[in-house]
Structure 1
Amino acid sequence: MADHPHLGTLIPQLLVERGIDTVFGIPGVHTVELYRGIPGSGLTHVTPRHEQGAGFMADGYARATGKPAACFIVTGPGLLNIATAMGQALADSIPMLVITTLNPRQTLGRGEGRLHELRGQSVVGREVSALALTIWTVDQLVPAFDEAFAFLSSSRPGPVLIEIPIDLLSEPFPGPVTSMRKPAGPPMPRADDVEAAATLIAKARKPLVIAGGGAVAGADAVRELIEKLGAATLLTANAKGILPAAHPLLAGGCMLTPSLHRAIGEADLVLALGTELGETEFWYELDGLKLNGVVIRVDIDPRQLHRNARPTLPVVGDAGLFAAALAPLVKAIEGGAAYARQLQAARLDGADPRYVRHRPLLDAIWQVLPDAVVAADSTAASYGGNFMAEPPAARRWMSAATGFGTLGYALPAAVGAKVGRPKVPVVCIIGDGGFQFTLPELASAADAGAPIIVLLWNDQRYGEIEEYMVRNQIAPLGVRLQATDFSAAAKAFGAKHVAARSLGEVKESLLAAASAPVTTIIEMDASQYA
């Protein structure tokens, strides 16, 4: 038995064999056995400054690359720390694998004051996971990993949690470890559903496509379907780039200005591909969307098909596979490009000027850095970006201002994106309030050799919340922030700091920062920025 490797030592091998190449985590006494097998495994390990940062980094990595990363997380406080990031990933359907530990099996539930003891840890984990598994015996290890990766490859994406008691990590594994068979892919839509969709579409005269994050993995097929159909298309925040900027069928983002609200209601057919049609995708009020025509909804998750909008035709299946199957069956509908131009021209009518003011800044990023990946926090420029940003390709815009809506997301998410795509510039858009949630992750970027560009909007307040309080006749309280010397903070973490007082200075700074060997913070003082 002594000659057999320990279970913990084998886990890096299992990850590599299943396509994982990056792990985010902070070693602790409850996870060190997982680290024995990392040297020589081919895994890249990145150490954040907080477990929440590990989760946000894995999120950014997945959004930028389309592949999951793993997180090694200690029992108790580690899981609670990463829970917020898992909640964001769950809400936005972002894949990641979180491996955490439990206290020794013989101590569980006894309340003996063990290190990191958390009553009901598994209950907490299940609430922020798409799938949660606990390994209790050595022979459950490989089947659990196979189940986890089968889920990641064939179901609606989200965080997958695997819990392992720490005493089990040190047990010998008799082996051999068999390689995982090729996992099943995402579900194919039924042929009769595809044919039914084609029949409904053939009768439409004013169709509208709404594509969401579930369409990104099949972006090429979805774009080909849209072009074959010739239909005006709206892209949610998580679908940006499926149609690039200036595409003739791109009608814009999804924030419900009056013109887009009318367009959705007036469409005689809405084809919704991989979208929740949810509140934070459209920022509608409680009464929701008004879809008055035929509605075809395609989603990998059958539970989602009847939420927020009732479909005429619900289709269970992967959006990309559906698009590929449908494209040969449809013909172009006249007037789609003209209608898209009409919606583009009117889409800012009635839009909140607090968001519209940031459009030149958003446009400038890809003008200066065409290959940039952008991670956006919950801040005014990000809300505007969810509506107005038009990246040149998919996986170039990621935002926390949807779904769970966390603050501080963008900085570690940008680090994760840079780790995953080291050859392209990665830009973080963040406000001064959110920046201070995760500011220490600047050190993680330096450690990982992953310099990013931070566009910091500094108005010395939680501006969105203050505006909301004022609109609702609540005296603003707790929203004004102490002035922070971000130049000193940058120096402390080995980053460069630039003050940009105009859009021209931002563009110059972006260009310089793209080739800098360290992270650059481009600070825009709201009181001086013109």
Structure 2
Amino acid sequence: MTDHPPLGSAIPGLLVQRGIDTVFGIPGVHTVELYRGLPGSGLTHVTPRHEQGAGFMADGYARATGRPAACFIVTGPGLLNAATAMAQALADSIPMLVITTLNPRATLGRGEGRLHELRGQSIVGREISALALTVLTAGQLVPALDEAFAFLASSRPGPVLIEIPIDLLSEPFLVPDSGARRPAGPPPPCMDDVEAAARLLDAARNPLVIAGGGCVAGAPAVRALVETLGAATLLTTNAKGILPGGHPLLAGGCVLTAAQHAMLDEADVVLALGTELGETDFWYGDAGLGLKGAVIRVDIDARQLGRNAVPALPVVGDAGRFAALLAPLLTRPRPGGEAYAQRLHAARLDGAEPRYTRHLPLLEAIWEVLPDAVVAADSTAASYGGNFLAEPPAPRRWMSAATGFGTLGYALPAAIGAKVGRPEAPVVCIIGDGGLHFTMPELASAADAGAPVIVLLWNDRRYGEIEEYMVRYQIAPLGVRLHATDFAAMAKAFGADHRMARSLAEVRAALLAASARAATTIIEMDASDYA
């Protein structure tokens, strides 16, 4: 054993041993003992302007890199501030480690008016995390960390929460001489199930693949399987880029049109890999997705296998490992797959709503100008259009909060987290004026962290999606009009550049110029110029 530092100061080193290199957090009196061990630990620390920003930054970091980051969050209000970001990550299966504190052990549950006291904090934490652990003794810390990282490495991803009382952070702690245990990887599927899937697919006349976010870690194997099978493939929002834009088997994404829905009936076998088949994956409404063919459902989470579609063959296991095992067993590609994919792809515009399709040229311009760009999208019309139509050149290039939990204000801090994780890549944030008001102060965090991002700001001076919904259902559109904000003055206040772009050509020029700057650039698009 080594020296006996306070337990809190040992935590940064224990995180580094387990592969964490970045922490997002705002120091507070309930977390300062965690900061005692930060200098010299090798951890990069980024300070957001709100704990929600810490969670969104960790989310963007994980989506862009495939690795979890950590958050240091204070008791009570800190955890509640981070709750929205954790719930978004839980809905979208995004890994992160959240270390929060509790009041002193002798005071828990007593209602004595302690600082940051939150009655039932552990109950709240369990509802917004995939795994919640409470450490009450020094001897429980390392086992809790080992359990947390084993879960992150082998289970359906999501936020993992560890709670530690503040009095325990100051207790002497024997730091183990040995490093962290190497956690096992995700579980492989049963080979009998893989062989059964091969038989079903070999007998299929017109198979269809639906790939979800659970495929991203195994993207090369999934792409190889699709090409071996020769099957038309739909990609959910979180799976975009597994097949790049222009791939002959790419059939489209989520937000299916009625024409596409009808064409799903043509598939006699559907291979659903790592996807919830959820409402916000495909916007199928109360009628359901309506898959008529036999469904092979592969998911790392056994609880997911019976939701939203009844499978003929349920398979528990990692989607990427399943794809790698299945591809060599297939005996022949389907010659009609490309034609089916092209018809589905064309049908994505048949009856599609113009308020989304109008943004297709903008979406295409991003990767034409910046081929390596990572894009973080908020809940705004251009982002909905992207969930529907964006076709990035590789995985981990499109992240969106307009799925699952569906929060506003996500894109800016998520973009900053992505830039921290991938500093060499240009990172573009697509956001509306309403959403930007939610997390605008994080522009200062980007400047402090040396993580400049490019903000494509769609300014229609309203909560446009909500106003259109209210009008459609004959509800007086109250509360949706926003007073004009001087975004140029705002950008200057936060150390960012500002450019107006009144045409697509100006957007393209502004994107290229912004990618060469060392500061964040806000490219403002006045919606009235694009009417």
* Both proteins in one fold, TM over 0.5: yes
Is 1:281 the equivalent of 2:281? yes
Q: Which residue of 1 aligns with 2:437?
A: 436
Is the CA contact 1:377–1:434 (under 8 Å) kept in the aligned structure 2? yes
Q: Which amino acid aligns with 1:428?
A: C
Deviation at 1:173, TM superposition (A): 0.9
- Greater displacement, 263-272 / 154-163: 263-272
Name the residue aligned to 2:136: 136
Distance 2:154 2:3 in 1: 37
Residue 477 of structure 2 corresponds to residue 484 of structure 1 = no
Match of 1:509 in 2: 510
Residues 496/175 of structure 1: CA separation in 2 closer, same or farther (3 Å cut): closer
Letter in 1 for 2:409: G
Name the structure 2 match of 1:373: 374
CA contact (8 A) 1:274 1:300 kept: yes
CA offsets 1:487-507 (integer angstroms, 9 cap, x no match): 000000000000000000000
- When structure 1 is superposed on structure 2, of 520-529 and 55-64 the one drifting more is 520-529
Aligned to 1:225: 225
Q: 1 CA distance for matches of 2:212 and 2:243?
A: 12
Moved more, 414-423 or 260-269: 260-269
Q: Is the 8 A contact 1:264 1:270 kept in 2?
A: no
**1:475 paired to 2:472:** no
Partners of 2:449 and 2:75 in 1: CA distance: 25
Structure 1 counterpart of 2:19: 19
Measured against aligned partners, the alpha-carbon deviations of 1:236-276 in whole angstroms (never above 9, x if no partner) come to: 00000000011111011121201220122221011000000
Superposition deviation, residue 175 in structure 1: 3.8
Q: Per-residue displacement from partner, 1:252-306 (whole Å, max 9, x unpaired)?
A: 1121201220122221011000000000011111121111111001000000010
Residues 332-481 of structure 1: pairs in structure 2 closer than 5 A: 332-481=333-482
Offset of 1:520 from its aligned partner? 0.2
The equivalent residue for 1:126 is 126
Matches of 2:254 and 2:374, distance apart in 1:
20
Q: Which runs of 4+ in 1 moved over 4 A?
A: none
1: CA distance, partners of 2:402 / 2:209: 22
Q: CA deviation at 1:178?
A: 3.1
What is the TM-score with the length of structure 2 in the denominator? 0.99
Name the structure 1 match of 2:82.
82
Identity across the alignment (%): 80
Distance 1:435 1:174 in 2: 46
Counterparts of 2:268 and 2:93 in 1: how far apart (Å)?
29
Contact 1:248/1:341 (8 A) holds in 2: yes
In structure 2, the gaps of 5 or more residues are none
Structure 1: tracts of 5 or more residues without a match? none
Q: Secondary structure at the match of 1:483?
A: coil
Quote the Cα distance in structure 2 between the aligned partners of 1:468 and 1:178: 58
Q: Secondary structure at the match of 1:218?
A: helix
Whether 1:247 aligns to 2:247 is yes
Aligned counterparts of 1:429 and 1:176: Cα–Cα separation in 2: 45
Please say if residues 500 and 529 of structure 1, whose CA atoms lie closer than 8 Å, have aligned partners that are also in contact.
Answer: no
Structure 2 CA distance for aligned equivalents of residues 3 and 183 of structure 1: 26
> Does 2:185 correspond to 1:185?
yes
SS in 2 for 1:345: helix
Deviations 1:50-72, CA, capped at 9 Å, x for gaps: 00000000000000000000000
| Aligned-pair CA distance for 1:335 | 1.1
Cα deviation for residue 4 of structure 1 reads 1.0
Q: CA RMSD in A?
A: 1.1
The aligned runs of 1:88-99 (5 Å cut-off) are 88-99=88-99
- 1:164-183 CA-to-partner distances (Å, cap 9, x unmatched) read 00000000013435322210
- Counterparts of 1:3 and 1:190, CA distance in 2: 46
Equivalents in 2 of 1:174, 1:56: separation in Å? 33
Q: Counterpart of 2:33?
A: 33
Q: After the TM superposition, which residues 47-126 of structure 1 pair with which residues of structure 2 at under 5 Å, given as runs?
A: 47-126=47-126
Residue in 1 that maps onto 2:194 = 194
For 1:367 and 1:473, how far apart are their aligned partners in 2?
40
Give the Å deviation of 1:371.
Answer: 0.1
Aligned amino acid, residue 219 of structure 1: A
Query: 1:254·1:260 contact (CA, 8 Å) conserved in 2?
Result: no
